[in-house]
Amino acid sequence: MFSGSFVALVTPMLADGEIDYKGLGHLVDFHLQQGTDGLVVMGTTAEAATLSFAEQLDIISRVASQVSGQIPVLAGNGTNATSEGVARTCELDKLAIDGFLTVTPFYNKPMQKGLLAHFQQIAAATAKPVLLYNVPGRTGVDLLPETVAELAMTDNIVGIKEATGSLTRLSELQQRCPAGFALLSGDDATSLAFMQAGGHGVISVTANVAPALMARLCKLALTKRDAEAKVLDDQLQGLHHQLFIESNPIPTKWALQRMGLIDSDLMRLPLTQLEPIHHGIIEQALRHAGLLA
């Protein structure tokens, strides 16, 4: 089962908009050194929406090769067309990855019946584990607990990244889904409460800049060391909130550059760089977390 702190990895870019592969390699090494429990490559935070599938394949292949089995690597394979999702999954399945993170179809707003068929067909295209990804604020559609429970009957659908931030939703999933079904938070700000209520970890944006702290937080939470976990979570709450002061991953890229972990906070349009008015706010959150002197 997937558990602990998985980072939703950013994609560093050069001034001309091309991928900074050297910077990407440095980030992967950083996470291996800092104790991150797993990498999610080509999710929302990676700017997958503005990367071609050929670029995505190349990035995922390079990351998987560099990690070489040290920690799990999950590949984002979500699309809003089921046929394209199946085709992408078949191609990605050839890579040395450990599973998939499959987001709900975006923009076209399918009904629950359509979501069920969508995920079933994508899961059928691989024998590798599939994690569902529910993020209504991004996609415009909510994958309901009863649908998740039905999907959990598929052998290789093994868990969900639940990004509503609702502990009520977690409780509903626990009641409906089988034991061993991985329940991962997709909301950093409520991830401690999510784990204390029985969740198994988090797929985190904050872990891009604070991987050791997020890995530690998960270990404390999952071993019921609640007082220590609360102290650490208080240290991180500023980052949890301020890294979303503009659309993800805009603030995260700025923070990584400020910390010297990437050379540029550039990204592809329509995303733009962090507004200067927010620089001080992000820097203050980094200092409060102990990540800047």
Annotated binding site for pyruvate: 45, 203
Backbone angles phi, psi at 17, to 5 degrees: 90, -5
Instruction: Extract the annotated binding site.
Output: 45, 203
Biggest CA-to-CA distance, the chain:
52
Q: Is the peptide bond before 276 cis (omega within 30 degrees of 0)?
A: no
- Measured between alpha carbons, how far apart are the two ends of the chain, in Å? 37
| Nearest partner of 284 among 250, 254, 247, 262, judged by Cα | 254
Q: Which of 22, 128, 161, 253 is catalytic?
A: 161
| Nearest partner of 26 among 261, 266, 281, 271, judged by Cα | 261
E-assigned strands of 147-234?
157-162, 182-185, 201-204
The verdict on whether 21 is a catalytic residue reads: no
Contact call for residues 206 and 239 (beta carbons, < 8 A): yes
The verdict on whether 109 is a catalytic residue reads: no
Name the residue with tokens 């309901």: 144
CA distance 209 to 195: 21
Q: Which of 94, 133, 224, 230 is catalytic?
A: 133
Beta-carbon-side half-sphere exposure of residue 248 (alpha carbons within 13 Å): 23
Instruction: Take residue 179 and report the two structure tokens written for it.
Output: 């034991």
- What number of other Cβ atoms are within 10 A of residue 246's Cβ? 18
The catalytic site residues sit at 133, 161
